[in-house]
Amino acid sequence: MPYQSLFGFGQSADIDIVLDGVESRKSADIKTEEGKKERHLLYYDGETVSGKVNVTLKKPGSKLEHQGIKIEFIGQIDLFYDRGNHHEFTSLVKDLARPGELMQNTAYSFEFQNVEKPFESYTGSNVRLRYFLRVTIIRRISDIVKELDIVVHTLSSYPDANNSIKMEVGIEDCLHIEFEYNKSKYHLKDVIVGKIYFLLVRIKIKHMEIAIIKRETTGSGPNSYLENETIAKYEIMDGAPVKGESIPIRVFLAGYDLTPTMRDINKKFSVRYYLNLVLMDDEDRRYFKQQEITLWRKGEKARKVGGAMAQSPTMNMPTHLVSGDHSRREVNVESDADIGNAPGVENMKREIDSPTGVSNSEATVDTSPTVQSPLEGNPPLMSD
């Protein structure tokens, strides 16, 4: 017999939290810290969270003395490198029972009306943002606690400004290409459509690919951590291109585990996405150019309710999800000489000495995208 049970200090009751609408409400998967997937009921910002708390005595006929029973709704950010601290951005409390004794199994109803849930549930490499209900039976020796997680998705309306991304990049006197993506902001089930146009080719290119990179940034200062993850990689060309050739791009996002772009969430972390264009020459040297894109979660289609159009749930546009415009650059180049002198043509970067333990695809992400450095040395030329 356990020591606590011998003296009557053991857990003498079980707690069960049952949410309203379990049969009709959608559920969603979310990763645990161990990388496994769990499925929980899905909620949105502004929705009410309600249900019942069932307290069951383990021994019929016994009694449970307590100093009060309460339920909390908590939104919390956990940084994996700072396990001792939990950063709560939402905390609501309701008392279910005053101090006293429980003589029999008891059920308590609760309701948190129109709860603000400003951020999306997220589990990454170094951070977790979670929403959960916590029931506590307060006792003199040891409390009895039960938690139940929910998943929150943050919806965004269609962005007003969604310009295409168009830019010219290259290697001085060797290679100039123009790439264009049809939009700068994509919903999670969208299709990225674009093209690569070769304006000047004097380098022996044998391979080209495009990758979707997720960059997670947590903390600040000395406690700042950066994690890059290659979500998907596509080969878009195999063989040497010629001047004037156009390569189409079409990437379907629906099949990947993506989240909306998250910018400076509660000043704790950010999640951004990049399209990384990589070219490889015949000596296996790799050149790359990355471009940030914004991902957002699209609301459900409107449906008719009683003859009127209703949207469920209500959509909003949080500034940390859909914000900021990507500038569009257009450079008209008519000749090779013009190409060499064209303003706005940015140098592609070459992968040199990838960090240990980081794959090539991960190393293609430039940690300082605003700095463009010229390449060292000239690659072998080929006539155009």
Higher pLDDT, 348 or 299: 299
* Mean pLDDT score of the chain: 79
Rounded to whole angstroms, how far apart are CA atoms 209 and 277? 6
The yes-or-no verdict on residue 32 having pLDDT over 90 is no
The yes-or-no verdict on residue 317 having pLDDT over 80 is no
Neighbour count for residue 112 (Cβ, 10 Å): 18
What was the pLDDT predicted at 300? Answer: 67
Question: Span 302-326, mean pLDDT?
Answer: 42
Classified as helix, coil or strand, 378 is coil
What was the pLDDT predicted at 34? Answer: 82
Rounded to whole angstroms, how far apart are CA atoms 159 and 375? 37
Question: Span 346-362, mean pLDDT?
Answer: 47
Residue 327, burial from CB neighbour count under 10 angstroms (0-12, 13-18, 19+): exposed
The yes-or-no verdict on residue 290 having pLDDT over 80 is yes
pLDDT in tens, 161-210: 888 998 888 877 788 889 899 999 999 999 999 999 989 888 888 888 99
* Residue 43 and residue 50 in contact, taking contact as beta carbons nearer than 8 Å: no
* Residue 188 and residue 298 in contact, taking contact as beta carbons nearer than 8 Å: yes
pLDDT in tens, 201-242: 888 888 889 999 999 999 887 778 999 999 999 898 888 888
The yes-or-no verdict on residue 135 having pLDDT over 50 is yes
In percent, how much of the chain has pLDDT > 70?
Answer: 75
The yes-or-no verdict on residue 337 having pLDDT over 50 is no
Residue 349: pLDDT band (50, 70, 90) is low
Residue type, 127: V
What was the pLDDT predicted at 228? Answer: 95
pLDDT in tens, 97-123: 999 999 999 999 999 999 999 999 999
Contacts of 78 by beta carbon, 8 Å cutoff, 6+ apart: 86, 87, 127, 128, 129, 130
The yes-or-no verdict on residue 52 having pLDDT over 90 is yes
